[in-house]
Amino acid sequence: MHLNIERVDFLISQYVAGSLPKAAHVLLGSHLQMQKPNAQLVDALQRLAGDGLEDMTCDETLSREFRDRAISDIVRSDPPAWSVLPPEQGSQLPALLRGYTGKDLTSIPWRRKLPGLREHIIERSPDVEASLLWARPGRALPNHGHNGLELTLVIEGEFHDHRGNFTQGDISVADETLDHRPIVGDSGPCVCFSVLFAPIALSGSPIQLMGDMIGL
């Protein structure tokens, strides 16, 4: 989980620099609308670093210790001038994601992907696929690896894999180094916003894979 946090920190720095593709920008912005401490951290970075963040490299990504100290200091300080956009009354989606989809969660035209798994594709091109995913409680997604970067923002519910538990507002960062089998928590359905920059690759034993495909 530590590595995932460091990767999210780096993505936040790129969000501040304005260098993320549109779908990833929407995902990070939605995360910030759901996680006020991180939104305050972004404001601090904008005030401290300004345009200099455009030159930031992977080796210069924020350390976990700096992030924790910064969040602690910011939370104790006066509220910044920049603030998170409030959600529309009754809306289940962050304002930025609602604008990107053009719909609220209650009006999403879901399509069945697998038993217990639904999908709504928002954007698809040779470079990126952005979609909303809905999975029933306890649903295990097929074990898979990644041929590139995948960002997943939890909108409702929770899921877990060998890295830990991801709940509302959390971001999972997956790349070629990660092979996992996400499992939805038993407390309720899980809704996620996924941004995929390369196709996934199914893995694991054929028997388990078959069971996961049919939702056993």
Domain boundaries, given as residue ranges, for the chain = 2-91, 98-214
Q: Residue 85's pLDDT is what?
A: 43
Q: Which of 52, 11, 14, 2 is CA-nearest to residue 152?
A: 11
Mean pLDDT score across all residues of the chain: 79
Q: Residue 189's pLDDT is what?
A: 97
What pLDDT, in 10s, does the model give residues 62-115? 455 544 444 444 334 343 333 334 445 556 899 999 999 999 999 999 999 999
Domain spanning 98-214, CATH class: mainly beta
pLDDT greater than 90 at residue 201? no
Report the predicted TM-score, pTM, of the whole model to 2 decimal places: 0.75
